[in-house]
Structure 1
Amino acid sequence: MPRLLQPRLLGAHLLALVLVATAGLLGYWQYDSWQERRAAEAADLSDLEPEPLVDVLGPDDPFPADKVGQPVEVGGTWVPTGTVYVSGREHDGQDGYWAVTPMAVGDSDAPALPIVRGWVADPEAAPAPPTGPVELVAWLQPTQGTNEADSDRSDDILPQVRTADLIQHVDQDLYGAYAVAIEPLDGLEPATLEQLPDAGTFTALKNFLYAIEWWIFGAFAAFIWWRWVRDLTLQEDEAEDADPHPVPSEP
């Protein structure tokens, strides 16, 4: 029988196996918890029940990172003179534009929320900007910031939905966000969401560190078992080399 499979050693082997397997499973459990919590933070909110805009975002508030794609109910008055068209937007594989018109949330002098009314292949074929009061449901999005420059500030074509560009087209303050109408308006094609929540860098970091800690513990247990087996084997080899033909002691 191989010396390492001797009955007197099986208990030690079994203990090492149990320790390594337990550490591995606990590490996997913590790693899975880390992934689940990050996935929960990055969950798609677009199918949730809409909330009043006032309960989600104020005109001077920074965009809440956990509300990307949240449906909101918003009402106010269109600001048709602030209508712009955002280039580089696709619909069914065709390049085109978003039609964006600000909505003064509340009265006509209140801060405005840019609303993506829908998609159009050519701004010249777009319907006239809407006027008057309006109530709608839209997906909330943080303004974009790709640093792509607006090459011609004299027209109403923009490369992105960025507050610094939009503010040039209105006479009032803007929200630090925009919204995409769930139902396209004025006969436009629907616009699609471009941004969904991201899990933060430090989301569930403790679970990830616990997973690494358990795996290190398992590796350490495996190392101790290996050292013990190696030392035991060396001791027995040295004993055999020192006395290859031991003489049985007399009773």
Structure 2
Amino acid sequence: MARMGLWQLDRAKQKLALQAEINEHGQLPALGNDSLARTQLQADEQAYRPITLTGHWVPGATVFLDNRQMQGRPGFFMLTPLRLATGDAVLVQRGWAPRDQRDRTRLPQVPTPDGEVRVTGRVAPWPSRLTQLGEDAPGPIRQNLDREAFAAQQGLSLRPLSVQALAPMALGGVPQDDGLLRDWPQPAVDVAKHYGYAAQWFVFCAMIAGLYVWFQLIRPRRARA
């Protein structure tokens, strides 16, 4: 139990370090199409840096990740590949939309224009994977998204990263209001819970130590006395 408490403290330390890295990389100059990572190693080095991309949406490849929360509400993360001038594409996490409570299969109506768009955001890891039973059907609503399988299904060459949009896309230089929320969760926000779990484990550890001393040492001596 003491080891579990130390593990929780280590998890909090990791999240604080990640948040510090996000803050540091967020102050670096914005990347562009030409400097976008092509390898996983480059993607790791560019994580959380600002980026501005231009390209064309691949609307037929839009995916809605289900059971994703923002501001405490359930809904979808809307993902659409952005085809670059080089012919390959990068997955853009365009934002969050609420789910229809009466019809779970009803998709949010978000415009996806045909012209060249400019996306302002930050480099981010591939969307996190949630626990699920079985595999998703190849439809627009999914629980998780595997990069290699998705690229093969859509016939795309995807860069080894994704981009979290931080502002509405711009079409012809004019921002387009799409109604999506972009209050992306920060990894260090829930650090307090790790400190709370660690305190619980240490309390359990102290209780067991106290009970051992009482039943194995003090009580037998009192009985003999």
TM-score, normalised via structure 1 length: 0.53
CA gap 1:160/1:154 in 2 versus in 1, 3 angstroms: closer
Q: Is the Cα–Cα contact under 8 Å of residues 62 and 140 in structure 2 kept in the other structure? A: yes
Q: Which has the higher strand share?
A: 2
Counterpart of 1:182? Answer: 166
**1:134-173 alignment runs, 5 A limit:** 134-144=117-127, 146=129, 148=131, 151-173=135-157
Structure of larger gyration radius: 1
Stretches (4+) displaced over 6 A:
none
What code does the residue aligned with 1:189 have?
L
**1:80-229 alignment runs, 5 A limit:** 80-106=59-85, 110-122=87-99, 124-144=107-127, 146=129, 148=131, 151-185=135-169, 186-194=177-185
* Displacement after TM superposition at 1:42 (Å): 2.5
Picking from 31, 56, 59, the partner of 1:77 is: 56
Picking from 17, 26, 33, the partner of 1:46 is: 26
Partner-residue secondary structure (3-state), 1:176: strand
Q: How many residues align?
A: 160
d(CA) in 2 for partners of 1:161, 1:62: 21
* Displacement after TM superposition at 1:91 (Å): 1.9
TM-score, normalised via structure 2 length: 0.58
d(CA) in 1 for partners of 2:22, 2:128: 22
Partner-residue secondary structure (3-state), 1:118: strand
d(CA) in 2 for partners of 1:119, 1:145: 14
Residue 39 (structure 2) pairs with residue 55 (structure 1): no
What code does the residue aligned with 1:134 have?
V
Structure 2 stretches lacking a partner, 5+ long: 1-13, 100-105, 170-176, 189-225
Q: Is the Cα–Cα contact under 8 Å of residues 70 and 184 in structure 2 kept in the other structure? A: no
Name the % identity: 18
Q: Which moved more, 1:152-161 or 1:77-86?
A: 152-161
d(CA) in 2 for partners of 1:53, 1:193: 23
CA gap 1:195/1:175 in 2 versus in 1, 3 angstroms: farther
* Displacement after TM superposition at 1:79 (Å): 0.8
Counterpart of 2:103? Answer: none
Structure 1 stretches lacking a partner, 5+ long: 1-34, 198-251
Partner-residue secondary structure (3-state), 2:158: coil
Partner-residue secondary structure (3-state), 1:184: coil
Counterpart of 1:245? Answer: none
* Displacement after TM superposition at 1:125 (Å): 2.5
* Displacement after TM superposition at 1:121 (Å): 1.0
d(CA) in 2 for partners of 1:74, 1:100: 15
